[in-house]
Amino acid sequence: MVATVASDEPAFRLKPVRLGIDTHQELVVYLRRNSHVCRSEGFTSSSRVQIRIADQSILATLSIVNDNGLLNPGEMGLSESAWARLSPTADSEAHIRHPDPVLSLSHLRHKVYGNRLNEAQTQEIINDIVAGRYSDVHLSSFVTACAGDNLDQEEIIALTQAMLRSGRQLDWGQPKVVDKHCVGGLAGNRTTPIVVAIVTACGAIMPKTSSRAITSPAGTADTLATMTQVDLSLETLQDVVKRYGGCLAWGGSVNLSPADDILIRVERMLDLDSEGQMVASVLSKKAAAGSTHVLIDIPVGPTAKVRSDEAAEQLSRHLITTGKALGLEIQVILTDGTQPVGRGIGPALEARDLLAVLRNQADAPQDLRARALTLAAQLLEMAGLAQPGKGPEMAKETLDTGKALQQFMAICEAQGGFSEPELAPYQYNWHSKKPGTVTTIDNRQLSQLAKLAGAPEDPAAGVTLEVKLTDEIKKGQLLMTLHADSPGELQYAVEFLEAHPEMIGISA
């Protein structure tokens, strides 16, 4: 006699259920441990499975549910990201099976063991990443294997081209389309919105797409999101650029180099930002946005991302060589990275700084104003709108007369409206315990402090820095203010600050 086992759900066909679990961007599916599918197919926790609903299909990571109260027989739970990708309806039926082998994983292992990747291997890896065939474990392995100096120049070019081909590419039909990028590592250096306002007010084409924060307390897109809509559709972005010559958008919303957005998420979790991947990230986005002439700002300082002139020169060579391979004209400018720029560190606080500059307020941070004018002047000359040496005069006149502010507000309104950035409800003032001269300011520790306070997830959180290098300080003078959305986060940041008072060095 053959024993039969009662099935508590139809094999391979399940009803999708939205569990409301936020797994960030990782696609996760949930099944009961006593599921017939798990038993018959040998699925275990962390297995990779293929899910299909109608004409939508994803590869997801399986999690096993022991509590039968969470899912009924015949149900399959989906994370928020998986639900968004599959878009089930009330009568949808989900099909589950083992996925086809991911052949590019052999190339990944090849790189993990210290070997070079050729162009075809790199393209296959990026194609599989964009198709969602890599789990977070695989993505972490790829990011780590490429970190440090593990990519040579040819590999950087191959990675950049593969990332560029992975998404949409824009063409503005213009001989000169300008853009700029700062490699980062310098807290508060939020020049981009000011630069875009100045150069587009003068007639340049600058369709600026920016990134969210990777390892910093604020990316340009995070800062802009406190004032206007940055998640633009392609149609809206094109309309804004057509009307005003530029935009201030988040690049991830228009599918430009989607592989970059996936890798950035993992880099953020690993707190890694390697040189080769940074070059590929920056230039693939610039080329995809239709840029032809790009200005790269590299701050150099002991606590910046780039710490020496030698490292800056090497990065410059990678950028210029890779840009040439993509048909981009790259100019690099090395700037002072010894201390933060402006006063605010965190999305809303940095937004308040750049608005003060655009509004020509008396208390506007002059270092932020000077940097923005320097970059805008060079872009105006690159765009052919100013003769060599005349860019500074044109940029300053545009800012001083209010034309830049008017242009910035017009772009914001076209993107969905403008709102004033808010302040967080909880603050803590930190005062100097001794008199003396400010001799050092640690960019990295200040950025860490702002993140502990809640930035960039809490847009109003962060740090307001009240001193600069060489300032003479009195005992009891205000050095900085912490901003947080909750007492708990504020206390967490205060404890870190009290344990690291050397982040602002004061010598007698």
Residues 218 and 319 occupy one common structural domain: yes
pLDDT, position 211: 81
Q: What is the rounded CA–CA span in Å between residue 162 and residue 267?
A: 18
The alpha carbon of residue 381 and the mean position of all alpha carbons in its chain are separated, in whole angstroms, by 28
117 within a domain of the structure (yes/no): no
Specify the 3-state DSSP secondary structure of 61: strand
Q: Do 191 and 371 meet the contact criterion of CB atoms below 8 Å apart? A: yes
State the amino acid at position 117 in one-letter form: L
Which letter, b or e, does each residue of 62-91 get, where b requires 16 or more Cβ atoms within 10 Å of its Cβ? bbbbeeeeebeebbbbbbbbbbebbebeee
Other C-beta atoms lying within 10 Å of the C-beta of residue 287: 25
**Residues 6 or more apart whose Cβ sits within 8 Å of residue 315:** 183, 275, 279, 298, 306
141 within a domain of the structure (yes/no): no
Q: How many domains does the chain have?
A: 3
Residues 227 and 350 occupy one common structural domain: yes
Specify the pairing of strand 344-345 against strand 462-465: antiparallel
Residues 191 and 334 occupy one common structural domain: yes
pLDDT, position 12: 65
Residues 408 and 431 occupy one common structural domain: no
Specify the 3-state DSSP secondary structure of 341: coil
State the amino acid at position 218 in one-letter form: A
CA dihedral (373, 378, 381, 387) positive or negative: positive
pLDDT, position 303: 85
Which letter, b or e, does each residue of 196-226 get, where b requires 16 or more Cβ atoms within 10 Å of its Cβ? bbbbbbbebbbbbbbbbbbbbbbbbbbbbbb
The number of C-alpha atoms within 13 Å of 369 and in the hemisphere containing its C-beta is: 19
Final residue before a domain boundary, out of 414, 438, 461:
414
Look at phi and psi of residue 417 and say left if phi exceeds 0, alpha if psi is from -120 to 50, else beta.
left
Final residue before a domain boundary, out of 75, 97, 119:
97
The alpha carbon of residue 173 and the mean position of all alpha carbons in its chain are separated, in whole angstroms, by 28
Residues 18 and 73 occupy one common structural domain: yes
Residues 452 and 500 occupy one common structural domain: yes
Residues 400 and 436 occupy one common structural domain: no
**Distance of CA 312 to CAs 296, 308, 337, Å?**
11, 6, 11
Specify the pairing of strand 472-473 against strand 344-345: unpaired
Residues 226 and 343 occupy one common structural domain: yes
**Distance of CA 24 to CAs 20, 64, 81, 214, Å?**
11, 19, 7, 14
**Residues 6 or more apart whose Cβ sits within 8 Å of residue 368:** 188, 189, 190, 191, 194, 341, 342, 353, 354, 357
Domain of residue 435: give its range. Answer: 426-507
Final residue before a domain boundary, out of 384, 414, 444:
414
Q: What is the rounded CA–CA span in Å between residue 211 and residue 82?
A: 23
297 within a domain of the structure (yes/no): yes
335 within a domain of the structure (yes/no): yes
CATH of the domain at 365: 3.40.1030.10
CATH of the domain at 453: 3.90.1170.30
Residues 40 and 186 occupy one common structural domain: no
Residues 435 and 396 occupy one common structural domain: no
Report, as residue numbers or ranges, the catalytic residues: 273
Residue appearing with tokens 């000169």: 176
| Whole-prediction pTM | 0.86
Q: Do 149 and 315 meet the contact criterion of CB atoms below 8 Å apart? A: no
Residues 390 and 346 occupy one common structural domain: yes
Other C-beta atoms lying within 10 Å of the C-beta of residue 137: 11
CATH of the domain at 35: 2.40.40.20
Per-block average pLDDT, block size 10, for the chain (508 residues)?
A: 38 85 90 86 88 92 89 93 93 91 95 96 96 90 93 97 93 96 88 98 95 84 96 95 95 83 85 87 93 96 90 96 97 95 97 98 97 98 97 98 98 97 97 96 94 96 97 97 97 96 93
First to last CA, the chain: 93
